[in-house]
Structure 1
Amino acid sequence: MDFLSNTTHFHIFTWVVGIIVFLVAAVLANGTKGKKIAHMIARLFYVLILFSGVMLFTKSMNYGMGAQYGIKFLLGLLTIGMMEMVLVRSEKGKSVTLFWVLFFVFLFATMFLGFKLPMGWELF
């Protein structure tokens, strides 16, 4: 399992694929078998994102920035929560506009903080 915690590659791969699957599930028609399958695959990737995130979070304690990584972890949980809320509420036919907005706000904040922290890429 060392290959999962040495770099951020696996974590980035899981959230990129997770977001793509989420967007595919969000645009599919309600009640179709394809939407249910895409939703279940998205849930699998939520678990993989959380698993790889926990692995990186435990590694981040070596950097002495545990609080900032904790905030990023919390923002990541909120992002995943909004993804799930969009899919579940759209399946029930309820309004999802607020959850879409919150999803993009939390996603932007999580990515910004993730790229800014020492284990991230030097983008900012």
Structure 2
Amino acid sequence: MGVFTDTTHLHIFTWVVAVILFLAAAVMAKGSKGRKIVHMILRLFYILVIISGAFLFFTWSSADAAMYGVKFLLGVLTVGFMEMVLVRQNKDKPTTVFWVLFFISFLATMFIGLSLPIGMDFF
């Protein structure tokens, strides 16, 4: 299982693709067939992000269990807010609050993830 736990490359790849697909789906026309396809592919990447993150969590959390737990929780919340934005857009409901929550949770997840021992040494 080294591909999941030796480095963060797979996890970073999956969430970068997920964010790109999310932004693409968010700007596509509501109800279009292309948006539905992108949304379904995005849901597959949600699962891949959570699985790769879970592998990293269970492998590395002994180093700093509390911060890895907070990062895992924020990551799941970020995925949830991404899904809520798209679902509420499809139902023509307001999404401003969920966009703000998405950006806050995304930035907090990024900051914590990069500052953890397995993250990159930017901070």
Q: TM-score, normalised by structure 2?
A: 0.98
Distance in 2 separating the partners of 1:33 and 1:15:
23
| Residue 103 (structure 1) shift | 0.2
2:76 — aligned with what? Answer: 77
Which contiguous aligned blocks of 4+ residues in structure 1 show a shift greater than 4 angstroms?
none
SS at match of 2:29: coil
Distance in 2 separating the partners of 1:24 and 1:72:
25
1:36 matched to 2:32? The reply is no
Distance in 2 separating the partners of 1:23 and 1:113:
22
Aligned residues with identical type, % of pairs: 58
Distance in 2 separating the partners of 1:19 and 1:6:
23
Distance in 1 separating the partners of 2:61 and 2:96:
37
1:20 matched to 2:20? The reply is yes
Backbone CA RMSD of aligned residues:
0.7
1:119 matched to 2:118? The reply is yes
Where in structure 2 are there 5+ consecutive unaligned residues?
Answer: none
SS at match of 2:68: helix
Aligned length: 123
Contact 2:61–2:69 (Cα < 8 Å) also in 1: no
1:8 — aligned with what? Answer: 8
Where in structure 1 are there 5+ consecutive unaligned residues?
Answer: none
Distance in 2 separating the partners of 1:32 and 1:57:
37
